[in-house]
Chains A and B, each alone.
Chain A
Amino acid sequence: MKKQWLVRAFSDALTVASSTSFTRPFCSAISSFPVKKVTKINFDSALEALRSHVRDADFVSVDLEMTGVTSAPWRDSFQFDRFDIRYLKVKDSAEKFAVVQFGVCPFRWDSSKESFIAHPYNFYVFPRKELPADGPSYEFLCQTTSMDFLAKYQFDFNACIHEGISYLSRGQEAEALKRLNLAYEDEVVNSGGHLKEVRDIPLVSMSDVLFTERMKNIFAKWRNGLLHNRDGWSQFEGDSNDKKKFQTIFFKMRPALALNGFTSHQLRLIQLVTRKHFKDLAYVRVNGEKSSEQKLVVYTESKDDKDLLVKEVKDGFRKEAEVKIKAAVGFRHVIDLLSSEKKLIIGHNCFLDVAHIYSKFLGPLPSTVEEFVSSVHKNFPYIIDTKQLLNTDNILQHRMKKKGTSLSSAFALLCPQIASASLNSGLASQLCVKVEVQVDDLRSSNWNSGAKHEAGYDAFMTGSVFVQACSHLGIDFKRHSPSTGLAHNEKLQKHINLLYLSWNNGAIIDLSSGNKITESSGTQLYKKRYPKIVFSKIVLVWGFPSKFKARELRECVSKVFGMDSVISIYCLDETAAFIQFSKEEFVSDFLILKESLDRNNDPISVLHPLSKLLEGGNTCATSYEVYREICSSPISRVLFADQAEAVGIKWKTKVVESREEVETQELESREELESTTKESGTVNSILDPPPKSGTGKRGDVISDPSYHNFSCDEIMDALYVAESQLGDRTRTTNV
């Protein structure tokens, strides 16, 4: 279920069905025509159609398919990830993987039909390199399991790679234009200046000298012919070889010689000859038909005329290059459209999707979540996440009967008449808002593409879920049509611009303010209580002997610090784990003890219970801050221990001073938390400020009343979560 968002299915049979012979414009029976498939072949026309659909739309739902989600198992989202780390993980994912399919589905309310009209589009996207010599984004990562998963649902990789629509981000476009301008200015400057385009080649070989001489003669004859005698060129007629190589044509109203069949070296010599010996001849390169380059020697009347010609040619090049850059913008036109129309965007668990949109089509992702969020908000002022909507609203929770909120189960529950494609679902269908689908000339109100989980269809499902959710929230489309602005509807204000930063522990971020909230309703996936996570009480350990699992770790550490010293153990992967202590001071105690055991090799150290953990001599330990450093590295090794090594960590034990800014950030979020706590009671996870200094002072015990209240069961639960998370490698975030 968790992987379904990566799914894409495309049935050949359905492609056949879409052919025009199968036109049933207003059929009431179950129809199964495919979502509109857009590749580079029909992109321009589809974009035009989409423009008008988006303009008229009340909201637009989107969905993305990528080549992968996590670049290493430990890059998955975990309980023990702080807000900043969660963003770093999303950032890593969006930067490394490619978007291969982009679903866009505008929804418009038709008051005459009392129904929404949806226009699902399925864009195949591929970051083809359209411009020469460009940046680093032309390499992308594929997660093997994700690719395999796409394959299982018959994702058409050929369509994607052969015909996918390419794109340039705004940043890339600006960069390309800047480079073009630079090159243009340089050329303009250089053409008159001392830096010559062609280096003087010393004519060393005899053949070069002879060739140059011959060319000089030919050009002189040709020019004289032009000046004195209209038929001057006829002298050449005899030599069929020369006739083929020199062809008199007109170029920009001037007589010119087109040069054919010369080597680049010879062309260089020709260029030198024209410049040295003929004031009124200009050597130019132009792009002829079929984009083949043509070399010309053009006769000009004066120096001014020559400069004018050169400028004309250069402007021509520049124009052409600009057109090319504009064309290379490609799929980003769709994003620009969504952004400029300021429509309400609907996604399902879409934080990662938004990050992908940002990094692919706007520019490089900012380093902090705050900057990211404010920049997103400027470009997309209204975003609603249906998963957030379904999970936090009590009415909808009731309606959902507390079932899972994955896209497909929400769709099945809220849109039964579409999902089951049956007309007689009785009461349920009457409650539902009607949604009619239109793809080209095909229309249906009971539409089932049979291609669930392709981006276009997923976008449609997301939009349909949103429509039904609105109706359950009491928004009556029939009474006041949504044209007044769904984004401003007061019933949706509680949900607008709130996205799950991480679904699995309910971390929510408000795009409009940058506030971070931990979901507080009791309706979360985890209904049990877990020890709250206090980052200052956490030690990160890695590189320990492979036989160590959570249980062994706990036993080993408990032997030294006491039975109830360890609140929970959380395994990142088989090489690394977090240990949360009951007291902050244990963190420094642990690190100091470990360091001294590492240093000393005497029998007492060897027999120390903690030595078992240090066997192999590769065990490293540190406080929580280093985790952030390791996550922010662009490197991704599969195992965490290898990652730490690759990142360049050479020490074995380190206590890191916590940085002030992080501290304040956490304090703020805590305030936020407390306010939500008052409202609704239970809090699943509370963020405490990190210690002022990692080497916590002895005796200065920060009392934490929660830690000794945990029963054995709760600790076991925590362990269970740790283990289950570890096993669940291929999971994705759009649950």
Chain B
Amino acid sequence: MVAQFLQRRLFCSSSNIPQWSVKQVTKSNFSEALKEIRNHIRDADFIAVSLQKTGAFSAPWRRVLPLDTAETAYCKAKDAAERFQVLQFAVCPFTIGASKVVAYPYNFHLFPRDELSIGMPSYSFSCQTSYLTSMAQEGFDFNVCIYDGISYLSRVQESTAKDRIANPIPSTHLMKSSSTPSVADAVFMERIKSRVRHWRKRCKDSSKGTDDALINSLRKLIVGSEVYGSRPCMSIDVCSERQVHLALEMLTEFSDDLVPLIIPDKGGPPKAVRVVLTSSAEDKNLLVRELESLDEEQNKRVRGFREVIDAISASQKPVVSYNCLNDFTFIHSKFLAPLPLRMDEFMCSLRLVFPHIIDVNHLLKEIGPLRKATNLPSAISYLKRRFFVPLDMEIPHQAQGNESKNHGHNVLRITYLFAKLSSVLKITPHTIQTMNDHLTAVLEGYTNILNPCSTSIQETIDEEAGVWMDNTRKVSTKDLVFLWGFKAGMSSGVLKSLLRGSHDVFSEDFEVRLVDKSCAIVVFWRPGLAEVLCGVMGSGTSVSSVLREMISEGLRVAGYEAYKRVCGSDFWEVDLADSFDNALAEPPHEFLAADSGKESSEIYLSSDFVINLDDL
């Protein structure tokens, strides 16, 4: 939260951008905003997104850390996306012209309200207190969000909901059935045909007749006639999809003035076909249009905010984000489908919906030394110092009266940063378009998701932060071991000095870092030593007295495979040490055991990475 405060201060001082106005969208102005933003998305070159969530991680070690591989980073991000909730979703379609950016920032307030009483989109969600507190300090209005936030359903939820919300579905297109009708079918068709004929005749007659109301209503009762709006209608009970089909077939052949509606049953096959009688061809068209707009309304109600996601997806425009892995796991799980178990499946699924995702963080790395900028504002100010990029930001929105409730500025920072970077890196909408043809280039755009280090863990700012020394080294996960069970409160320095000399493997240079307060990681720069240590600790032979004492006090060791298992498991504890103990007590999980094999991945460790334990 300090970081966020500093961000804001840094940002304000480092960029003399006038008061930016972001359009705030809640339930009440959603329809109108949706219309607007659809147009803006259509005309935009890029779309920037930024999410405000109720939390990010449940324990210090559950953050994405520099020691994570893509797969473990994904496990952590997946867990967070399933656990927490998005409260604000800022979208900013923008165009980049010569030294001018035209942006249309919108900030959507979301709340997973169960609008349709079907237990969706979300039965419950978690909140991280520190997140809520820092949001409160920034003036976040929780009441607006919970009272008036827009709800939504994911694509998968919508398709399940379709069965549950019994709404008449107009059937406009009908396929000819290929199979030949059976005797039973013929009987069924004859029966309903005569019923419909009878009913239709009655309706036509009675409309001419001048019978009094009582007789009319009695007749309705006998014929089984109902009213759909102002038009007469009747229901045909069906008991299978086949019969629905037959009924529809019969009706289209029967007459032009009938409009069939399929009445779905909750969770089962349709239970009836409702036939509506129209008075003329125009009347029929009118009804069909009415039904279509009804359907659209219903969709809006069901999909809610997801209409915006669908619009972005349909536009196939490049989406710009700052923290791709975190943001897109959230987007996938809330608006598309439950997150798959494995990262590659996730990537496939995501790529189908958003073909181009650009991570600003990744672009920053392209600029060499700048790659170490740790957060948006510092990146912006660094870029300002290093490159002269004249840039005008134009926001055609009218400024809103209530400036104090103006949230979602991060999306504009992303837009601004991206615009600057793209001018430095000579990225134009055109080059992005041509990139389409180059699979490698597209993949390159995705590598940022794969790169877990892009989620900057060093958000904490102390005096020297902003840019840090470049001394990352590539390490194989085979050369990493996790140690836990040492004395509580021990620092990595103390641990290192204890280890040094306790065994041959520690005679050469190695690194020790705390992952959380209970567990440390040891990095061996020479291959093979990690295995030796694990073996020695397991057998307990040929160890020095220091190490033996530590082992007797509970020191334990595990390789990277165990860490992978811990990250992928549902059972984990706040302390990484406890999670390791749990995981090792259980037989290896089949899925991961099969997957792990002998391959090892490589990660980039910055030699001065420090995990701030107070940051939870």
Chain A complexes with chain B: yes
User: Which residues, 120 to 142 on A, are CB-close (under 8 Å) to B?
Assistant: 126-129, 132-133, 135-136, 138-142
Whether A592 is near chain B, meaning CB under 8 Å from some CB there, is no
Whether A73 is near chain B, meaning CB under 8 Å from some CB there, is yes
Min C-beta distance of B491 to chain A, whole Å: 9
Chain B interface size, under 10 / 10 to 19 / 20 to 34 / 35 or more: 35 or more
Whether A1 is near chain B, meaning CB under 8 Å from some CB there, is no
Whether B228 is near chain A, meaning CB under 8 Å from some CB there, is no
B residues near A635, Cβ cutoff 8 Å:
570-571
Min C-beta distance of B219 to chain A, whole Å: 37
B93-130 vs A: 1/0 string, CB under 8 Å? 00000000000000000011110000100111111111
B residues near A140, Cβ cutoff 8 Å:
126-127, 129
B119, A195: Cβ atoms under 8 Å? Answer: no
A133, B146: Cβ atoms under 8 Å? Answer: no
Min C-beta distance of A34 to chain B, whole Å: 17
A141, B133: Cβ atoms under 8 Å? Answer: no
Say which residue of A128, A143, A150, A265 sits within 8 Å of B133 (CB atoms). A128
A49-76 vs B: 1/0 string, CB under 8 Å? 0000000000000000001100111000
Say which residue of A126, A128, A136 sits within 8 Å of B59 (CB atoms). A136
Question: Considering the chains assembled together, what is the distance between the CA atoms of A638 and B338 in angstroms?
Answer: 13
Min C-beta distance of B120 to chain A, whole Å: 9
A141, B136: Cβ atoms under 8 Å? Answer: no
A residues near B488, Cβ cutoff 8 Å:
182
Question: Considering the chains assembled together, what is the distance between the CA atoms of A153 and B446 in angstroms?
Answer: 46
A residues near B55, Cβ cutoff 8 Å:
139
Q: Pick from A98, A138, A144, A547 the residue with the most CB of B within 10 Å.
A: A144
Whether B143 is near chain A, meaning CB under 8 Å from some CB there, is yes
Min C-beta distance of A469 to chain B, whole Å: 36
Whether B18 is near chain A, meaning CB under 8 Å from some CB there, is no
Min C-beta distance of B440 to chain A, whole Å: 39
A residues near B142, Cβ cutoff 8 Å:
157-158, 160-161
* Contacts A145-B114, A162-B136, A264-B463 given; does A68 touch B124 at CB 8 Å: yes
B residues near A546, Cβ cutoff 8 Å:
267
Question: Considering the chains assembled together, what is the distance between the CA atoms of A150 and B92 in angstroms?
Answer: 32
Whether A646 is near chain B, meaning CB under 8 Å from some CB there, is yes
Chain A interface size, under 10 / 10 to 19 / 20 to 34 / 35 or more: 35 or more
Whether A186 is near chain B, meaning CB under 8 Å from some CB there, is yes
Min C-beta distance of B270 to chain A, whole Å: 15
Question: Considering the chains assembled together, what is the distance between the CA atoms of A329 and B560 in angstroms?
Answer: 40
A144, B129: Cβ atoms under 8 Å? Answer: no
Question: Considering the chains assembled together, what is the distance between the CA atoms of A162 and B268 in angstroms?
Answer: 47
Say which residue of B112, B135, B267, B614 sits within 8 Å of A144 (CB atoms). B112
B489, A133: Cβ atoms under 8 Å? Answer: no
Whether B166 is near chain A, meaning CB under 8 Å from some CB there, is no
B124, A133: Cβ atoms under 8 Å? Answer: no
Question: Considering the chains assembled together, what is the distance between the CA atoms of A618 and B130 in angstroms?
Answer: 41
User: Which residues, 88 to 115 on A, are CB-close (under 8 Å) to B?
Assistant: 98
A141, B125: Cβ atoms under 8 Å? Answer: yes
A-B residue pair count with CB separations less than 8 angstroms? 104
B residues near A162, Cβ cutoff 8 Å:
136
A265, B464: Cβ atoms under 8 Å? Answer: yes
A147, B146: Cβ atoms under 8 Å? Answer: yes
Say which residue of A67, A148, A547 sits within 8 Å of B113 (CB atoms). A148
A144, B59: Cβ atoms under 8 Å? Answer: no
A547, B147: Cβ atoms under 8 Å? Answer: no
B494, A151: Cβ atoms under 8 Å? Answer: no
Min C-beta distance of A65 to chain B, whole Å: 14
Whether B12 is near chain A, meaning CB under 8 Å from some CB there, is no
B residues near A145, Cβ cutoff 8 Å:
114
Question: Considering the chains assembled together, what is the distance between the CA atoms of A406 and B124 in angstroms?
Answer: 26
B residues near A72, Cβ cutoff 8 Å:
123-124
A residues near B59, Cβ cutoff 8 Å:
136
Say which residue of B123, B462, B574 sits within 8 Å of A135 (CB atoms). B574
User: Which residues, 242 to 285 on A, are CB-close (under 8 Å) to B?
Assistant: 263-265
A residues near B447, Cβ cutoff 8 Å:
none
Whether A656 is near chain B, meaning CB under 8 Å from some CB there, is no
* Contacts A183-B489, A263-B463 given; does A128 touch B143 at CB 8 Å: no
Whether B517 is near chain A, meaning CB under 8 Å from some CB there, is yes
Q: Pick from B129, B143, B488 the residue with the most CB of A within 10 Å.
A: B129
Question: Considering the chains assembled together, what is the distance between the CA atoms of A636 and B125 in angstroms?
Answer: 11
B464, A148: Cβ atoms under 8 Å? Answer: no
Question: Considering the chains assembled together, what is the distance between the CA atoms of A162 and B267 in angstroms?
Answer: 43
Whether A479 is near chain B, meaning CB under 8 Å from some CB there, is no
Question: Considering the chains assembled together, what is the distance between the CA atoms of A136 and B575 in angstroms?
Answer: 9
A729, B119: Cβ atoms under 8 Å? Answer: yes
A residues near B129, Cβ cutoff 8 Å:
126-129, 138-140
B143, A263: Cβ atoms under 8 Å? Answer: no
A133, B614: Cβ atoms under 8 Å? Answer: yes
Min C-beta distance of A379 to chain B, whole Å: 25
A617-652 vs B: 1/0 string, CB under 8 Å? 000000000000000000110100000001010000
Question: Considering the chains assembled together, what is the distance between the CA atoms of A205 and B283 in angstroms?
Answer: 88
Min C-beta distance of A729 to chain B, whole Å: 6
User: Which residues, 136 to 164 on B, are CB-close (under 8 Å) to A?
Assistant: 136, 141-143, 146-147
Question: Considering the chains assembled together, what is the distance between the CA atoms of A147 and B571 in angstroms?
Answer: 27
Say which residue of B85, B147, B489 sits within 8 Å of A151 (CB atoms). B147
Min C-beta distance of B492 to chain A, whole Å: 10
Whether A199 is near chain B, meaning CB under 8 Å from some CB there, is yes
A720-735 vs B: 1/0 string, CB under 8 Å? 0000000001000000
User: Which residues, 455 to 495 on B, are CB-close (under 8 Å) to A?
Assistant: 462-464, 488-489, 493-494
Min C-beta distance of A188 to chain B, whole Å: 14
Min C-beta distance of B468 to chain A, whole Å: 12
Say which residue of B123, B132, B133, B517 sits within 8 Å of A638 (CB atoms). B123
B113, A143: Cβ atoms under 8 Å? Answer: no
A residues near B517, Cβ cutoff 8 Å:
133
Say which residue of A67, A71, A136, A264 sits within 8 Å of B464 (CB atoms). A264
B538-554 vs A: 1/0 string, CB under 8 Å? 00000000000000000
* Contacts A138-B129, A264-B462 given; does A144 touch B123 at CB 8 Å: yes
Whether B58 is near chain A, meaning CB under 8 Å from some CB there, is yes
A158, B143: Cβ atoms under 8 Å? Answer: yes
Query: B589: nearest residue on chain A (CB-CB)?
Result: A648
Q: Pick from A68, A127, A142, A160 the residue with the most CB of B within 10 Å.
A: A142
Whether B584 is near chain A, meaning CB under 8 Å from some CB there, is no
Whether B613 is near chain A, meaning CB under 8 Å from some CB there, is yes
Min C-beta distance of A517 to chain B, whole Å: 32
Whether B441 is near chain A, meaning CB under 8 Å from some CB there, is no
A residues near B186, Cβ cutoff 8 Å:
none
Whether A671 is near chain B, meaning CB under 8 Å from some CB there, is no
Whether A156 is near chain B, meaning CB under 8 Å from some CB there, is yes
Question: Considering the chains assembled together, what is the distance between the CA atoms of A160 and B59 in angstroms?
Answer: 24
B residues near A264, Cβ cutoff 8 Å:
462-464
Min C-beta distance of A553 to chain B, whole Å: 15
Question: Considering the chains assembled together, what is the distance between the CA atoms of A680 and B549 in angstroms?
Answer: 66
B574, A141: Cβ atoms under 8 Å? Answer: no
B464, A263: Cβ atoms under 8 Å? Answer: yes
Query: B586: nearest residue on chain A (CB-CB)?
Result: A648
A residues near B399, Cβ cutoff 8 Å:
none
B residues near A186, Cβ cutoff 8 Å:
489
B residues near A547, Cβ cutoff 8 Å:
268
B143, A157: Cβ atoms under 8 Å? Answer: yes
Whether B227 is near chain A, meaning CB under 8 Å from some CB there, is no
List 20 interface pairs A-B (beta carbons < 8 Å), by A numbering: A129-B133, A132-B614, A133-B614, A136-B59, A138-B130, A139-B55, A139-B129, A140-B129, A141-B124, A141-B125, A142-B124, A142-B127, A144-B125, A148-B111, A148-B113, A161-B136, A195-B494, A264-B463, A265-B464, A546-B267
Query: Which A residues are within 8 Å of any B CB, using their own CB?
Result: 67-68, 71-73, 98, 126-129, 132-133, 135-136, 138-145, 147-148, 150-151, 156-158, 160-162, 182-183, 186, 195, 199, 263-265, 546-547, 635-636, 638, 646, 648, 729
Top 3 A-B residue pairs of the complex, sorted by shortest distance between their CB atoms = A157-B142, A136-B574, A138-B129
8 more A-B residue pairs beyond the given contacts A144-B113, A150-B146, A648-B571, with a C-beta to C-beta distance below 8 A: A71-B124, A72-B124, A141-B126, A142-B127, A143-B123, A151-B147, A182-B488, A638-B123
